[in-house]
Chain A
Amino acid sequence: MSARYELRFSGSGGQGMILAGIIMAEAAAIYGDKNAVQSQSYGPESRGGASKAEVIISTQPIDYPKATAIDCMLAMTQEACSKYHYDIKPGGILLIDSNEVKDVPKGHFKTISFPIIETARKELGKTIVANIISLGMIAELTGIVPHEAVEKAVLARVPAAFVELNKKAVQIGFQSAKGLK
């Protein structure tokens, strides 16, 4: 990996993008052997609006905590995609929800399109775990953090009653992304 690997999780407030970012950072820094910082930018809305979380992963100490050139970005809504895709670096990855993002931005990056929310609904009956599915997908697509660490980090963050649901969600994420690389 390069000195900094930069991830951005974006969507609308309430979709769990910040939680996805936190879990990714924990997977890298607590359950993995790398450094990570997670930051976020948000407006006054608790629900709705565009929200983003950024995670910088590195083998070195991390000084600047914000993104400089994004290696991989997730966009769960059109608004977030349009607003935040501007600094994906050439050769980077843009993962979008295919049902939500219709106006696909063009750039020197690879766009991967998948019905993330629909999968959550169809496979697990709960759209709330769409963020965990996307987390699994990003882990698979980027290879930046081992699957085991991601799963541990997910399970450490969710209430006991939802462990099985989230376990399935993260596995669906890993599997779904396999054929898309």
Chain B
Amino acid sequence: MAEHKKKLLQGNEACVEGAIYAGCKFYAGYPITPSTEIAEGLSVRLPKIGGKFIQMEDEIASIAAAIGGSLAGLKSLTATSGPGFSLKQEGLGYACIAEIPLVIINVMRGGPSTGYPTGPSQADIMQAKWGTHGDHPAIALTPAYVQEILTETVRAFNLSEKYRTPVIVLYDEIIGHMREPITIPEPGELEVIDREKVTCPPDEYFPYDERFEVPPLAPFGTGYRYHVTGLNHKKDGFPTNDSKQINENNLRIMRKIENHKAEIWKNEEVSLKDADVAVFSIGSTARSANFAVKAAREAGIKAGLLRPLTIWPFPDAAVKELAKRVKAIIVPELNLGQMVLEVERCAGGACKVEGIHRVDGEPITPAQILEIIKKHAK
């Protein structure tokens, strides 16, 4: 029966399905609400398919072990929530500069600190971009539906392998824990990108070869003996004090993402073409926004939704273009104002920008958003 291909899964369970689909073979993590179901699921699934699951002693060790697993050639994942994501920042920076593919799931919860562990939040948007020190590339994906958590987890692995960089998946507790019917895609239905194989002779291999925009990464133990460090390095991976090389090292890791923003961006638009008022929103808040936009349309208001599935790199082009043709962009988010700053920057005064913010552990309701849509439609 075809209908039974459908399963009622939790967001975090869909993440497990996505990881398995993408070919993830290594997970290291530490228990934390509300992301633990990902670890629980993979602890059962990975050993069945020859994969490795390990519960480490803390969040820092988890991302470190996952980087180690990836360097040894396995597609690696770690999952966490707000406070754990803070702890992982040092490892995240290492993966950026050492250019190690890795996927990090952050099921966002209330904060700061221990905050409200069982409540939803979208307060790690800026942390995903600016959490680790120094300038570094950031890719962060923001699914809003359980099915999308699966597909975006696959896309996260693909982007991390393609660009040799850590990729973050951000979603809130609501969609992490809610259940929705989803379909597990058949093999071949979604694109799966595997790590590029290194074919050159070992003495011609440079792990950070500037001739490539994204140099291929040879797994440890395959005959390519090279050096990996968190220090600024030359093409051979060894540390350098040469300012020209330090500069080039820092710029190249940014450039490899910056030059491909258009391929990394992914936006969903709902009735945006003729909209007077637009809502810009992600995750569970975007679901409320979708509801509100439909209600507004029923009430004769030309409202639309721009829902980014890639929040970093920020969808500058889409927001700039939108700002020129709407009266206002409303930015509901479960924090006290993060994405709204980026929207304001991109809008550059071309339209009004208004945030809707909530940090009481409850979702932003469709009614809250509808009220602000109506205000700007007048």
Instruction: State the A residues within 8 Å of B (CB).
Output: 22, 25-26, 29-31, 35-44, 62-66, 68
Contact = CB atoms under 8 A, between A and B. Distances in A.
Contact of B177 (A25, A26, A31, A39): A39
Given A36-B8, A37-B178, A63 B363 contact: no
A64 B179 contact: no
Contacts of B175: 65
A109 B117 CA distance: 34
Contacts of A22: 8, 179
Interface centre among B4, B177, B180, B367 (most CB of A within 10 A): B180
A40 B34 CA distance: 12
B290 interface: yes
B178 A39 contact: yes
19 contacts: A29-B180, A30-B6, A31-B3, A35-B181, A37-B178, A38-B8, A40-B177, A40-B178, A43-B118, A44-B117, A44-B118, A63-B290, A63-B366, A64-B290, A65-B284, A65-B287, A66-B363, A68-B366, A68-B367
A95 to B, nearest CB: 22
Nearest to A3: B294
Interface residues of B, number: 24
A64 B175 CA distance: 11
B174 A65 contact: yes
B291 interface: yes
A63 B297 CA distance: 15
Contacts of A64: 287-288, 290-291, 363, 365-366
Nearest to A54: B178
Contacts of A68: 365-367
A43 B175 CA distance: 17
Contact of B179 (A31, A37, A43, A63): A37
A175 to B, nearest CB: 27
Nearest to A62: B180
Contacts of A44: 117-118
Contacts of B255: none
A37 B11 CA distance: 11
B299 to A, nearest CB: 15
Contacts of A41: 118
A64 B177 CA distance: 14
Contacts of B4: 30
Contacts of B273: none
A49 B135 CA distance: 46
A30 B174 contact: no
A35 B288 CA distance: 17
Interface centre among A26, A39, A62, A68 (most CB of B within 10 A): A39
Nearest to A26: B8
A30 B7 contact: yes
B182 to A, nearest CB: 10
